[in-house]
Amino acid sequence: MTARIFAYIVHKGGVVDDSTAELFAAAKKIDPAASPTAIVTGSGAELDAVCNSLTASYPEVWKLASDSLAYPNAELVRQALVKVLPAGSLVLLPHNHFGIDLGPGLSVKLNAAFVPDVVGIDGVDGTNLKVIRQEFGGQVSTHVRCNLASGAVINLRPGAFKPADGAAASGKVVDKSAEIGALTAKRRYLTTIAPETGDVDITKEAVLVSVGRGIQEKDNISIAEELAEAMGAVVSCSRPVVDAKWLPKSRQVGSSGQTVKPKIYLACGISGSFQHLAGLKGNPFIVAINKNPKAPIFQVAEVGIVTDMLEFLPELTNRLRAMKQVSV
C-alpha cells in the first residue's frame, strides 16, 4: 500500500485525546509497515507542547499553527487540511462530535471516499480497505469495502481500537503553517455552555437503576424510583428518556451525558448503544433487563434477564421489601 496515512490529533488544554493512540493502532492495522503522520492544528505554546509530546509515538508530526485555529472549528480545520494534505492521502479521525463535524465534508473537498464509525479493520486488498461497521444500534455488523484509489477519510469509533504497546518513536515536528494561508469561516464559534447540575450526582453513586426506551412512558419512571429506593440506589437513564424530557440531562449516562463508575448497573430497557456504554467505566457488574434478546447490552452484561422491565422491576422491588421486613 502506498497511500500516506495521516492521523488527525484532537487535543484540549495541551493534552492529547485518548483517540491519539487508537488512531495510531488503527493505522498499523491498515498497514503494519505504515509510518503514520500526526497532523495537529492549533495555536501558541499549547500547540507546541502537543506536537512535542506526539514525537514520542509518531515518527512525524505536522504542525498547522494559526490564531484562527485556536479553537477547533471544523470548517476552518478542513480548509487548513485541504491545503496541506497530498492527493490520495488516507486520513484517520475519531468518530466523535468533532470527527462527525469534519469527516464528511473533508472527504468531499479531498475528492476521497468516506467511511463513518468504523469499529474494525481487516486490512487492505488491492486498492480496497476492508473495514467493519455496525448498523441498527449494533444489532448487526457489516464488512465494508472502501476504494482507496483517490484517498479516503476514515472515522474510527472511540474505544474500538486498543492502543499498541511500546510504540516508541523519536519523531520530528514539521511546521506546515506557512502553507495554510488565510482561513475564513461562515460558522463562528462563540462559547461553550456547561450542563446544569442536577439534584443528584450519578457519577458518585455505587448502584444505579438505569432506564431506557423500555420505560415507555413518563408515569413509569416511578417504577424505577421505587426499585432504586428499595436498593439504596438512584435512577439514571439513557438518551431516549432525556430526549422525551422524562428525566433531566444530568441523569443521562453516555458520551453526551455523564461518565459513571458504579459497582452495580441495572440496565433496564436499555439496548446498549456504544454512545451509552462509553459513559460506563470502572468495570461495573452489569445486569441487563430487556425483552429483545438481540439487544447489544446482553453482550456486555454479566447477567441478563429477557423480560419486560415493566413487569420485572415491581417484582424485584417487592422481593427486596419483603426481605427487609424479615431481617428487621
**Residues in 217-236 that interact with another protein by CB under 8 A:** 231-232
- How far, rounded to the nearest angstrom, does the alpha carbon of residue 10 sit from its chain's CA centroid? 12
Site for another protein (CB under 8 A): which residue of 186, 217, 326, 328?
186
Site for another protein (CB under 8 A): which residue of 35, 207, 229, 321?
207
Does 174 interact with another protein (rule: CB under 8 A)? Answer: no
Element at 109 (helix H, strand E): helix 97-109
Q: What is the 3-state secondary structure (H, E, C) of 8-77?
A: ECCEECCEECCHHHHHHHHHHHHCCCCCCEEEEEECHHHHHHHHHHHCCCCCEEEEEECHHHCCCCHHHH
C-beta of 43 vs 292, nearer to another protein: 292
- Residue 105 is given by DSSP the state H
Does 27 interact with another protein (rule: CB under 8 A)? Answer: no
Does 134 interact with another protein (rule: CB under 8 A)? Answer: yes
Site for another protein (CB under 8 A): which residue of 144, 164, 169, 200?
144
Is the CA virtual torsion 65, 67, 73, 75 positive or negative? negative
> Counting Cβ atoms within 10 Å, is residue 288 exposed (0-12), middle (13-18) or buried (19+)?
buried
Site for another protein (CB under 8 A): which residue of 85, 242, 247, 310?
242
Give the span between the Cα atoms of 98 and 163, in whole angstroms: 20
Site for another protein (CB under 8 A): which residue of 195, 204, 281, 282?
195
CB neighbours of residue 277 within 10 Å = 22
**Residues in 69-88 that interact with another protein by CB under 8 A:** 73-75, 78
**Residues in 267-326 that interact with another protein by CB under 8 A:** 271, 285-288, 292-294, 296, 298-307, 311-312, 315-316, 318-320, 323
Count of residues touching another protein (by CB under 8 A): 101
Site for another protein (CB under 8 A): which residue of 2, 33, 45, 191?
191
- Paired residues of 38 in beta bridges: 7, 61
The contact mask relative to another protein for 91-130 (x = CB under 8 A, - = no) is ----xxx--xxxxxxxxxx---xxxxx------------x
